Amino acid sequence: MNTQQVPLPDIDYRGSFTISFPEENKFLAYSLKKEGVIVPPVLYKSSGRYRIVTGKRRIFWLKKVGIKTVPAHIINVDRKRAFVLGFWDNFSSRPLNSQEKINVLYGLRYICRFPWKKILEEFVPFLGLPSNIYFLKRLLNINFLPSQVKVLLSTERISYENCFKLMSLSCEELKVFLQIIGDLNLGRNKISDILSFYILLKKRRDINIPRILKEMLRIKKDNEHDFKSGFLQLRQFLFDKTHPHLAKDRKKAKNLIMKIKPHPDIKLFFPMDFEDKYLQIEFCAKDVKDFFSKVNSLTNISPQELRRFFQLL
């Protein structure tokens, strides 16, 4: 291995498949501007051009700021060996995110041409993935999803299972979901929530999917400055469409609560989606007198109205 200054235009950046994703890294950009290249990238030569073994992110930012050359270690290997070396270098220096693990599988299978048996025995245990060929093949299909999904996956905002659900959607459905996820800044659990309801909803034969998507976009647009409200409205809409009988019961329960409300400062709740069979009571008291005043007001609730409420639960 020798070290030399390599002109950046001589490096085949796009033709170098490495596992690092995403390429953008603001901390790395700051380090390069402040201290320069501390650890030189490793390159190998193929067809008259240099290709990257490690250091693709460094080269990305050097190109972006207009640097002309980079100090690099040059090694004499073929593409297969270069990929394996790149994997072990990354694995030994940092945790790999979920998308990078897919990139590893892709490189081992389609660049190195390793059989699944070798991949399962020598690499999968280090990736923390199930030793199931069917599951691993499905992971590779995630690479056909838009780059926005890969970014969500790399930042752990979406799970593999929910990526599989996204793969079951049409192009139009996927486009709508990615808009909603991005504009409402949905996290991992919220993405899982709305996807699960939507997948259930699609199984109903009486559902007009284009109309559902249009309404979802309307809710998103009306709440682009209130992420929490947008998610709750979206979730409620999908739940009501998925479980119309429960939606009717919820409406009845809300009307009953309006009738049995004992005090302006006391709030009565029922569990979301009737998940639990109880009535929740909430109030604040400024002193002992106020506390007992509000507690005593609960005795004014009509037993008949309350009984009708609990019959719904």
Q: Which of 9, 113, 96 is nearest to 59 (CA)?
A: 9
What is the H or E stretch that residue 171 is in? Answer: helix 171-183
Confidence of residue 43 (pLDDT cuts 50, 70, 90): very high
Question: pLDDT digit string (tens) for 207-233?
Answer: 899 999 999 999 999 998 999 999 999
Question: pLDDT digit string (tens) for 237-285?
Answer: 998 888 877 667 677 767 777 777 667 788 777 665 555 667 778 888 8
70 and 90 in one domain? Answer: yes
Give the span between the Cα atoms of 54 and 40, in whole angstroms: 9
What is the overall mean pLDDT for the chain?
88
234 and 262 in one domain? Answer: no
281 and 222 in one domain? Answer: no
For residue 44, give the CATH number of its domain.
3.90.1530.10
In the chain, how many domains are there?
Answer: 4
Give the span between the Cα atoms of 207 and 211, in whole angstroms: 9
Task: For residues 177-187, give the mean pLDDT.
Answer: 95
231 and 195 in one domain? Answer: yes
Q: What is the pLDDT of residue 37?
A: 82
Residue 193 is assigned to a structural domain of this protein: yes
Residue 149 is assigned to a structural domain of this protein: no
197 and 263 in one domain? Answer: no
Least confident of 26-30, 164-168, 177-181: 26-30
120 and 88 in one domain? Answer: no
Residue 305 is assigned to a structural domain of this protein: yes
Q: Report phi then psi at 70, rounded to 5.
A: -140, 135
301 and 235 in one domain? Answer: no
R_g over Cα of the chain: 28
Residue 152 is assigned to a structural domain of this protein: no
Contact (CB, 8 A) for 99 and 154: yes
Residue 151 is assigned to a structural domain of this protein: no
Q: What is the pLDDT of residue 140?
A: 97
Residues 6+ apart with CB under 8 A from 120: 131, 133
Choose the final residue of a domain: 242, 272, 287: 242
100 and 81 in one domain? Answer: no
Choose the final residue of a domain: 70, 94, 118: 94
Q: What is the pLDDT of residue 129?
A: 96
163 and 211 in one domain? Answer: yes
Question: pLDDT digit string (tens) for 12-25?
Answer: 988 889 899 987 77
Q: What is the pLDDT of residue 312?
A: 66
Residue 296 is assigned to a structural domain of this protein: yes
Q: What is the pLDDT of residue 123?
A: 96
Residue 236 in 3-state DSSP?
A: helix
Q: Which domain holds residue 201?
A: 157-242
Contact (CB, 8 A) for 295 and 263: no
